[in-house]
Structure 1
Amino acid sequence: MGLISLVWGIVAMVFMCIALIPLLGIANWLVIPFAAVGAVIGAIGVMLSGSGKNGRAKAGLVLNGIVIVVAVARLHLGGGII
């Protein structure tokens, strides 16, 4: 689960970088749920793995969380969130 969350976060980060381009900010509405699914997968991975084997799951969880925060901030700056 950790590897899936990490790869999911990397893909979400790429999509987020594309959504930061002006006039493509509407893509943030798709990036946020995509990263939220990755964060849920990462949280499940942290819960199911042992204490010393959850590094990838934690990294995926943090990466997806960063993507969500940046995408929400970008929507807020662009007027997408009322």
Structure 2
Amino acid sequence: MLSVLASIIGIAALLLMIPTVVPFLGWANWLIVPIALLGAVVGSFSSYNTGRNFCLIVAALGIIRLFIGGGII
């Protein structure tokens, strides 16, 4: 059940991340990455790794986007 909850959190974070590919909206990843990491923490309490791994991938995408944009752009 916690893996499903983590997957839902990861999907929500991924949907919120879609507009951040537009220039000057990359700062929103500062809010989205912690949400994805929260999903990874929830998923770590599950016996399945699917939700946790998905949230870690979403967080990694957000961190890469922050790195490319210099943390702001």
- TM-score class, shorter: 0.7 to 0.9
- Structure 2 equivalent of residue 70 of structure 1: 61
Paired letter, 1:7: I
Deviations 1:35-80 (A, max 9, x none): 010000000113xxxxxxx3xxx22111111111111111111111
Give the count of matched residue pairs.
71
Aligned to 1:25: 26
- CA-based RMSD of the aligned residues comes to 1.4
Q: Counterpart amino acid of 1:78?
A: G
Asked which structure has the greater CA Rg, the reply is 1
Unaligned 5+ runs, structure 2: none
**CA shift for structure 1 position 21:** 1.8
Displaced runs of 4 or more, over 6 A: none
**TM-score normalised over the length of structure 2:** 0.87
1:27 and 1:61 map into 2 onto residues whose CA distance is: 22
Percent identity over paired residues: 37
Inter-partner Cα distance in structure 2 for 1:72 and 1:23:
15
